[in-house]
Amino acid sequence: MRKLLIAGNWKMNQTASQTEAFCLEFKAKGLQGHKVDILLSPSFTSIPAMISILGDTPVHVAAQDMCYEDRGAYTAAVSAEMLVDAKCSHVLLGHSERRQYFHESDEGVNLKTKQALKYGLTPIICIGETKEQRESNIMEEVIKTQLLGALADLSNEEILKTVIAYEPVWAIGTGLTATPEQAQEVHRFIRTLLEERTDMETADQLQILYGGSAKPTNADALLSENDIDGLLIGGASLKVNDFFQMIEAGDKLNS
Ligand code: PGA
């Protein structure tokens, strides 16, 4: 059985001192012994504050992006080596906001995925269709292009070290959640694509997260679906109680 992963994406929120306050309150709720994997992805500037408080807990810390190059003249970019040094274990790649506002391409996501794997970071590759794409029935094509593009040239062994996050763009930050059935249908489709790209065993082990207005009231229904192996949570991960409730929803299903 695949372990569930409850992941928070803080986007451009929380200063270092706000991060500290969150982490202290979060830690006080008890972070040991959960059945699910837990991850938080703060801004680069808040990573040290988070690590200083959560570093001795099982919570994984992820960056929200990184550069595809090792080092050098790439002003404002952050390298994989820097993330490893800062004690990140994961990195989000190809989030729809990066694609939409910063022109992230499938080729770029592929380069970054390879770079993350080279440095032992787990890439969480985000894919998902817009409302227009869903309505014009090209959703499957979009998902397939994004997924296979991100995984280009990778071996099955390397693909196994990635996590896929399905985040329908129309559901992100809008309060509109995909229904569990809608999400499951796409997750099934993604797993079938992964099976074609790798093999059944690999596809069976891969974690596919759902993201897009996930919250305490829908976490249980989403996580109960067969091919939904966790949540990538934006807004609700900024509230200690909401995020913790979603961890508990996962715990119940994973036990
Ligand atoms: P949301 O964001 O939960 O606020 O919709 C999800 C995401 O973008 O990862």
CATH no. for residue 183?
3.20.20.70
Nearest to 174 by CA among 96, 227, 89: 96
Whether 239 has a pLDDT exceeding 90, the answer reads yes
The mean per-residue pLDDT over the stretch 139-158 comes to 98
Q: So what's the pLDDT on residue 176?
A: 83
Ligand 1 closest atom vs CA 213: 5
Give helix then strand counts, H and E, for the chain.
12, 8
178 lines ligand 1 (CB under 6 A): no
Query: Of ligand 1's atoms, which has the minimum distance to the CA of residue 237?
Result: 3
DSSP 1-70: -PPPEEEEE--S---HHHHHHHHHHHHHT--SS-SSEEEEE--GGGHHHHHHHHTTSS-EEEES---SSS
Confidence of residue 158 (pLDDT cuts 50, 70, 90): very high
- Position in ligand 1 atom list of the atom nearest CA 236: 3
Query: What mean pLDDT is predicted for residues 184-213?
Result: 97
User: 67 and 79 in contact (C-beta within 8 Å)?
Assistant: yes
Please report the pLDDT score of residue 59 as a whole number: 98
pLDDT, average across residues 162-188:
93
Q: What is the mean pLDDT of residues 45-61?
A: 98
9 lines ligand 1 (CB under 6 A): yes
What percent of the chain shows pLDDT beyond 90?
Answer: 96
Predicted confidence at residue 173, as pLDDT, reads 84
Which residue is it, tokens 């609700």? 236
Q: What is the dihedral of CA 234, 93, 83, 101, to 10 degrees?
A: -70
Angle between the N-to-C axes of helices 180-197 and 139-150, in degrees from 0 to 180, rounded to the nearest 10: 50
Which ligand 1 atom is nearest residue 214's CA? 3
| 11 alpha carbon – ligand 1 mean position (Å) | 9
203 CA to centre of ligand 1 in angstroms: 25
With a 6 Å cutoff on the Cβ, whether 211 touches ligand 1 is yes
Q: What residue's CA is closest to ligand 1, atom 2?
A: 234
Looking at the predicted structure, is the pLDDT value of residue 254 above 90? Answer: no
Which residues are identified as catalytic? 95, 167
Phi, psi (deg, nearest 5) at residue 93:
-135, 140
> What is the distance between the alpha carbons of residues 65 and 78, in angstroms, rounded to a whole number?
8
Give the domain extent around 161: 5-254
pLDDT for 130 equals 95
Which atom of ligand 1 sits closest to the CA of residue 96?
A: 8
- What confidence score (pLDDT) does residue 154 get? 98
For residue 255, pLDDT beyond 80: no
Is the predicted pLDDT of residue 184 greater than 90, yes or no?
A: yes
Ligand 1 pocket: which of 12, 233, 237, 239 to mutate (most atoms <8 Å of CB)?
A: 233
* The total number of structural domains that make up the chain: 1
- Ligand 1: which residue has its CA nearest to atom 7? 234
Distance CA 132, CA 129 (A): 8
Nearest residue to 140 (alpha-carbon basis) of 190, 68, 76, 87 = 190
Which residue has tokens 């306050």? 21
What does pTM read for this prediction? 0.97
How confident is the model at residue 175, as a pLDDT? 81
Residue-level pLDDT at 178: 87
Asked whether 167 lines ligand 1 (CB < 6 A), one says yes
Give the residue, by CA position, lying nearest to ligand 1 atom 3.
234
Long-range contact set of residues 147-152: C-beta below 8 Å, sequence gap at least 24: 147/190, 147/193, 147/194, 147/197, 148/193, 148/197, 149/106, 149/107, 149/109, 149/110, 150/93, 150/94, 150/106, 150/109, 150/110, 150/113, 150/125, 151/110, 151/113, 151/125, 151/197, 152/110
Most ligand 1 atoms within 8 A of CB, residue of 5, 6, 9 to mutate: 9
Is 94 touching ligand 1 by the criterion CB < 6 Å?
A: no
